[in-house]
Structure 1
Amino acid sequence: MIHHVLGLFTHPDQEWLEIRGEKEQSISRMYLTHTLILAAIPPISAFVGMTQSGWVISDRAPVLLTLESAGWMALMSYIAMLAGVAVMGGFIHWMARTYDASPTLASCVAFSTYTATPLFIGGLAALYPHMWLGMMAGLAAVCYTVYLLYVGLPLFMNIPADEGFMFSSSVLAVGLVVLVAIMAFTVVLWGIGVGPQYTP
């Protein structure tokens, strides 16, 4: 599965067709060979960045988190990303019936995972958590993820381009709702005292 990552960045059109033509694998195998590995990049990078170099805002001194606090935050973000991929895969599977496509749930989870690949790779920027670097890397990752979504969905689902545009727009809207829900849940956790703890 990992060998598709380079292709999604170099020739996405061709790579989506290759992915569609592959023998379908189970959801568990997809998670084991791709999702669990790539989704670990942002939390591991953030853990290292938050505990070793610290957040850098303007010309102020770096802000470091304790190992325990950074570990919990990394674990929670990892679980949130894995759940997000599953939720998006489930929505794509449910929505596909509207566009006369009949993919399996496993293939929809695979599509969701491959589409999120730039977000996972962009998490490497958290190794050095500078505000401007994070914003630029995050923006680039989001833009390329949206591009993969709009290019890949019609090819992967084998539907006309105009229907693919509407389908992709629906998926994007749900993705934003999921993101806002995760952020709201984070705020609630911080409100009950499960927030970050900084080093002295």
Structure 2
Amino acid sequence: MFRYIPGLFFAPKTTWNRIHDDVERRPFGFLPVLLIASLIPALSAYYGGAVAGWAIFGSDERRFLSSEAAGLFAVAVWLAFVSNAILMGYIVRWVLYRTPRRPPATHGIAFATFLSIPFMLSGLGALYPERWVLLPVFMLAGLFSIIQLYYGLPQFMRMHQDKAYFYGACIIAAGMLAMVSVGVFYLESWRAIAPPGEYQNLDEQRQDEGFIPGL
């Protein structure tokens, strides 16, 4: 199903119809997309935290995560994306409970997975985690995700476009709450188990690596 990802941005109506037909034939065919695409923000977060350094905490001083803390953070990010897609799938099924063609859970999760693609791709912004990079990237991802929702809902769920606006608004409202809740849960979980002293400034990192000025 990876071949459908470019079409979401260039031909969304046709692509959503093809995704629907594919999910009908292979209900769990979306799982590789969910599990592998979620690695994009996870690996980017690892690189941004351990190698590039973070400068988004109200200070211009660049700070770094230790390798262990960055690895745990990457796992937390991956779990957050996977968990959010699964939760959103059940939210979609719940929101559409009165529709004639209420989707099964697998269809809901597949739909949520492809809705999450803009956010997964936007995770590349974490390779250079600066405020001026992350904010526009995530805002653009949110915009694309909303556009995909309104294109995909009538095509994937086989409903009239007029009804899609109402159900789409409900999915957005519930989805934002779910996304924030899942994100906070995994962030707090990471903070609880991350090793102490996980942040290092540039001077400390150079000292740890045996950096000698003038050489």
Question: 2:90, 2:105 within 8 Å by CA — same for their partners in 1?
Answer: yes
Residues 67-146 of structure 1 mapped to structure 2, 5 A cutoff: 67-146=67-146
Q: What is the count of residue pairs matched by the alignment?
A: 198
RMSD: 2.1
Question: 1:64, 1:198 within 8 Å by CA — same for their partners in 2?
Answer: yes
Name the residue aligned to 1:45: 44
Shift of the alpha carbon at 1:16? 0.9
| Structure-2-length-normalised TM-score | 0.84
Question: 1:99, 1:163 within 8 Å by CA — same for their partners in 2?
Answer: no
Does the C-alpha gap of structure 1 residues 86 and 187 become closer, same or farther in structure 2, counting only changes over 3 Å?
Answer: closer
Name the residue aligned to 1:36: 35
Q: Percent identity?
A: 27
Q: For residues 190 and 25 of structure 2, what CA distance do their matches in structure 1 show?
A: 41
SS at match of 1:103: coil
Q: For residues 56 and 30 of structure 1, what CA distance do their matches in structure 2 show?
A: 35
Shift of the alpha carbon at 1:90? 1.3
Question: Structure 2: which 5+ residue stretches go unaligned?
Answer: 205-215
Question: 2:64, 2:199 within 8 Å by CA — same for their partners in 1?
Answer: yes
Name the residue aligned to 2:207: none
Q: For residues 49 and 166 of structure 1, what CA distance do their matches in structure 2 show?
A: 39
Shift of the alpha carbon at 1:124? 0.7
Does the C-alpha gap of structure 1 residues 68 and 24 become closer, same or farther in structure 2, counting only changes over 3 Å?
Answer: same
Name the residue aligned to 2:165: 165
Question: 2:80, 2:183 within 8 Å by CA — same for their partners in 1?
Answer: no
User: Whose Rg is larger?
Assistant: 2
Q: For residues 61 and 92 of structure 2, what CA distance do their matches in structure 1 show?
A: 44
Question: 1:24, 1:107 within 8 Å by CA — same for their partners in 2?
Answer: no
Shift of the alpha carbon at 1:191? 6.9
Question: Structure 1: which 5+ residue stretches go unaligned?
Answer: none
Shift of the alpha carbon at 1:103? 2.3
Shift of the alpha carbon at 1:190? 6.6
Name the residue aligned to 1:197: 198
Shift of the alpha carbon at 1:60? 2.6
Q: For residues 66 and 13 of structure 2, what CA distance do their matches in structure 1 show?
A: 44
SS at match of 1:97: coil
Question: 1:16, 1:156 within 8 Å by CA — same for their partners in 2?
Answer: yes
Greater Cα offset, 52-61 or 148-157: 52-61
